[in-house]
Chain A
Amino acid sequence: AQKVTQAQTEISVVEKEDVTLDCVYETRDTTYYLFWYKQPPSGELVFLIRRNSFDEQNEISGRYSWNFQKSTSSFNFTITASQVVDSAVYFCALSGYGAGSYQLTFGKGTKLSVIP
C-alpha cells in the first residue's frame, strides 16, 4: 500500500523567510510519481510539480525548489523568500504506474501562513 506523510500540520513564517515543507512517502513500486499541489484560500488545487522515481535531480522554479531523495523516501518543497501569496495548504501526493493504478495517494497537507 502507498502512504504519504506530511508531518507538519501548520507552519507560520514571517514574510521573506525561507520555509521547507516535508514529504515522506512509502511505496513498493519501482516506478512511481510524486506531486505537489497548492490549495489557496479560494479552494482550487493547483498543480505545482511532477517527478518520476528515476529522476532525482532537484528542481527549481523561481522561488520554489524541490529536493527528491530516494534514499530517504522524501520529496521536500522549499519556498525561498516567502510572500503572503504563498499562504495556502500544500499537498504532497504519490501515484503508481501501469495497470490498476488509478488514483493519487495524498498526504494530509501542510497549512502555510506567511505573516507580513
Chain B
Amino acid sequence: SQTIHQWPATLVQPVGSPLSLECTVEGTSNPNLYWYRQAAGRGLQLLFYSVGIGQISSEVPQNLSASRPQDRQFILSSKKLLLSDSGFYLCAWNLRVNYGYTFGSGTRLTVV
C-alpha cells in the first residue's frame, strides 16, 4: 500500500534561518507531488507541484523553493525565513488529479 511521510511535525525557526521540509511517498511510482500552505484559520494555498523528477511548477512567487531530486521525494526549502512563512505545510500526492489527493500529516512551522 502507498504511504506518505512528512517531517518534521513541528518546527520553530528564527527569522533569517534556512528551511528544509521533506516529503516522501512509498509504494508507488511517478506520483504527482504537491506542497500546500495553510495560514492560521485560513484556506489551502498551493505552493508548488511536480509531475516528475526535476519538474517543478510554482503557483505563488515567494520566499520558498521546491525540488524533486528523486521520483518519490519532494523538498520545500528557503534560504532565509520570514515571519510570514509561518503556517501549516502539507505535502500531498496522487497518480492522477481526478483521484484526489492523499495528504501527509503536515509540518507546523513557526518563525520567530
Contacts and interface: CB of A to CB of B under 8 A. Distances in A.
Contact of A103 (B42, B97, B102, B108): B97
A94 B49 CA distance: 17
Interface string A32-48: 01010100001111110
11 contacts: A47-B101, A91-B43, A97-B97, A97-B98, A103-B34, A103-B46, A103-B59, A106-B43, A106-B44, A107-B43, A109-B44
Which of A37, A96, A104 has the most C-beta atoms of chain B within 10 angstroms of its own C-beta?
Answer: A104
Interface in A5-50: 33, 35, 37, 42-47, 50
* Majority DSSP secondary structure for residues of A touching B: loop
Contacts of A50: 99-100
Interface in B47-85: 49, 51, 57, 59
Q: How large is the interface on B (under 10, 10 to 19, 20 to 34, 35 or more residues)?
A: 20 to 34
B101 A44 contact: no
Contacts of A102: 32, 49, 51, 57, 97
A72 interface: no
A95 interface: yes
B90 interface: yes
Contacts of A91: 43-44
A45 B8 CA distance: 17
B100 A43 contact: no
Interface of A: 33, 35, 37, 42-47, 50, 52, 91, 93, 95-97, 101-104, 106-109
Nearest to B98: A33
Contacts of B103: 37, 44-46
B88 interface: yes
A37 B88 CA distance: 16
A5 B88 CA distance: 22
B93 to A, nearest CB: 12
Contacts of A96: 97-98
